[in-house]
Structures are given as structure tokens and as C-alpha cells.
Amino acid sequence: MSASPSSTTGGDNKPSDQIHFKFCRECSNLLYPKEDRVNNQLMFTCRTCHVGEPASSHCVYQNHLHSQVGDTAGVTQDVTSDPTVCAPAFCTLCGDIVPCFICGSTPDEDLFEDAPPLPRANKLCPSCGETEAVFFQSQQRSAETGMKLYYVCCACGQVYM
């Protein structure tokens, strides 16, 4: 007797992609995969009454990895007005620039006064119709990605390409 697990993803599973549960014909408990070392064969065996049967398939587990690196990782709604980009750290008590905790050097204050803000472009937002947006390059580093530019609308925060 075998039963198929119900799919929670709602996708169309091919019959060959499904793993079937097998149950003991004597006590109806779940059969577990086990190696028959004498015959070098995969068996399904009951842990309660030790009844076994040869496996009809050599697949006992499928691990589908879905790894998608977010191209826009770290983008927040207020990225267009982030004042901390390219700005040095200041002491909250005296207002002086805080030295680097690794090397101890203090950054040149004039270096950051003329620091350019995030690059902006006139790109029509598909969500609200505004034309001002900041843009950045894809954060995904792979050969097939190429260089993708992503835009963040300054009005509504929508991320688009």
C-alpha cells in the first residue's frame, strides 16, 4: 500500500518527481528505507514488525534548493533620501568626526562635504508616473546576470528596472 503526500505548493508535480510513502502490510506503520548489506539492495522495512520489501525506486528523498539572490537586497523605502550615504561618523556629544576604530586615522572632513548624493535619473515610474529616481547596479554577482540597473522612485519608493 502506498500513499502520495499532498502538495502544499500547488504546483504541477510530475508523477516521477513525487516520493511515495510506503506502509507495512502487516501493521500499517510507515516503512523506512534501509540497506540490505548482504544483497546490496535498497529495502523499505517496518521498524515495528521488521517486515520488508524491495524498493521500487532508488529515490528516498528529494531536496530542491531554491536559491535566489535578491538583486535589490538592502533597498529600503527611504533609500532616495538616505543622509548617511558617504557621510563620516560624528560624535553625538561634541560633534567631532569619530576616528577609524581599526587604524585610528580621522577622515578629512572636506572630503565628505562635496560627496555626491546617490545618482539620479529621469526615469518614468510605472507605479506613480513620477520621473525622478535614484539608481544602482544589481547586487547579484554572477556571470549570467550582466549589469542591471535598478531604479527607486523618489516619490513612491517603487523599485523597477
Annotated binding site for Zn(2+), which residues? 24, 27, 46, 49, 125, 128, 153, 156
Please, are residues 148 and 138 in contact by the beta-carbon 8 Å criterion? yes
Label residue 44 exposed, middle or buried (CB < 10 Å: 0-12, 13-18, 19+).
buried
Nearest to 1 by CA among 58, 44, 42, 41: 44
- In sequence order, what are the beta bridge partners of 42? 35
Which H or E element spans position 111? helix 109-113
Greatest pairwise CA separation for the chain in angstroms: 83
Point out the annotated binding site.
Answer: 24, 27, 46, 49, 125, 128, 153, 156
Place of cell 539620479: 120
CA distance 18 to 62: 9
CA distance 69 to 142: 10
